[in-house]
Amino acid sequence: MRFPGGASDGAQTETTASEGIGWSPVVEEGRKTTDALHSDAARLPRPDRRRIMTVANQKGGVGKTTSTVNLAAALAVQGLSVLVVDLDPQGNASTALGVEHQSGVPSVYELLLGNVGVADVAARSAQSERLACVPATIDLAGAEVELVTMVAREARLREALTPEVLEELDYDYVLIDCPPSLGLLTVNALVAAHEVVIPIQCEYYALEGLGQLLNNIELVQSHLNPNLGISTVLLTMYDGRTKLAEQVTAEVRGYFGERALRTVIPRSVKISEAPGYGQTILGYDPGSRGSMSYLDAAREIAERGTERETA
């Protein structure tokens, strides 16, 4: 069949598809993600100095580990070199990044004890050649007891992540995933970092217990790490259909101001499923809203850091 203008069936199908016939939100999101991952223009700026960021919230189920690995992957696929330090004995960050972490694998446990260096335990993630992870094994569960008797027990991680070591390995970002507690492992993470990222879920009781975390951060600032500061608050599990999500978002932004990212992470089954396949959401479903949200959040973090350093 010929169409007006002399186009054949095949030519017309190709033309009308580009004009919108056959368009779907999934196709559009996939196109955006492909552009974000492969366009040179979309590459993020390298920070003027290495950024060490601890992702912390003692409240469980807020998307802490999920945000750590997905932000790390989003930074990596947009051109930056990233190291994730899995400081949670559950090893969920290691699982999501596809890094071996069964008992016996050199891990963050040996790193804290001073038996190995970062280069000895950092494993390359299959998610990106620019993404590596220091895995956590079940051995880490007993680390807090062993650290109690050690000299400078709060600074064991900082001693391992020295500027000289990280400079040699050439990482732009170090993201530290904490356990859901305010114990010695979390204190080590806060002492080692420059910045704190606090994920907060858009649900009831979202801010419950947050005061205790803020108090602990202030104590670490006062006594152990004066360079520490809360740079980023990330709203997770956002469901725009509910008034509650809007109320929590407004309350968090009213309290934290510009430290709360404009980007919010939507509630998503795909985000929850990805770790079960040893992947981040960017690898598991790159065309999803969750993937695009983490790409946007990573870009916002990178651009804010550059603005702060150049201001």
pLDDT of residue 14: 39
Find out whether 34 and 42 touch, Cβ atoms under 8 Å: no
| pTM, 2 dp | 0.85
Identify the weakest region by mean pLDDT among 28-37, 153-162, 191-200, 286-295.
28-37
Burial 53-81 (b: 16+ CB within 10 A, else e): bbbbbbbeebbbbbbbbbbbbbbbbbbbb
Span 123-146, average pLDDT:
92
Q: Give the pLDDT band of residue 104 (cuts 50, 70, 90).
A: confident
- 104 conformational bin, left if phi > 0, alpha if psi -120 to 50, beta if neither: left
pLDDT above 80 for 247: yes
Share of the chain above pLDDT 70, in %: 84
Overall size of the chain counted in residues:
311
Span 142-161, average pLDDT:
90
Structure tokens belonging to residue 240: 């725009």
Q: Give the pLDDT band of residue 243 (cuts 50, 70, 90).
A: very high
Dist CA 129 CA 241 (whole Å)? 38
Burial 162-182 (b: 16+ CB within 10 A, else e): eeeebeebebbbbbbbbbbeb
Burial 37-51 (b: 16+ CB within 10 A, else e): beeeeeebbebeebb
For the chain, give the mean pLDDT.
Answer: 86
Beta-carbon contacts of residue 115 (< 8 Å; ≥ 6 apart) = none
Beta-carbon contacts of residue 242 (< 8 Å; ≥ 6 apart) = none
Structure tokens belonging to residue 65: 């580990």
Identify the weakest region by mean pLDDT among 1-10, 85-94, 118-127, 133-142.
1-10
Dist CA 176 CA 119 (whole Å)? 16
Element of type H or E holding 235: strand 229-238
- 84 conformational bin, left if phi > 0, alpha if psi -120 to 50, beta if neither: beta
Find out whether 124 and 73 touch, Cβ atoms under 8 Å: no
More confident residue, 258 or 27: 258
Q: What pLDDT digit, counting tens, does each position of 115-132 carry? A: 999 999 999 998 899 999
Structure tokens belonging to residue 275: 């770790």
> Phi and psi (nearest 5°) for 61?
75, 25
pLDDT above 70 for 192: yes
Q: Measuring CA to CA, which residue among 59, 116, 118 is closest to residue 85?
A: 118
> Phi and psi (nearest 5°) for 285?
-150, 75
Q: Measuring CA to CA, which residue among 106, 108, 72 is closest to residue 89?
A: 108
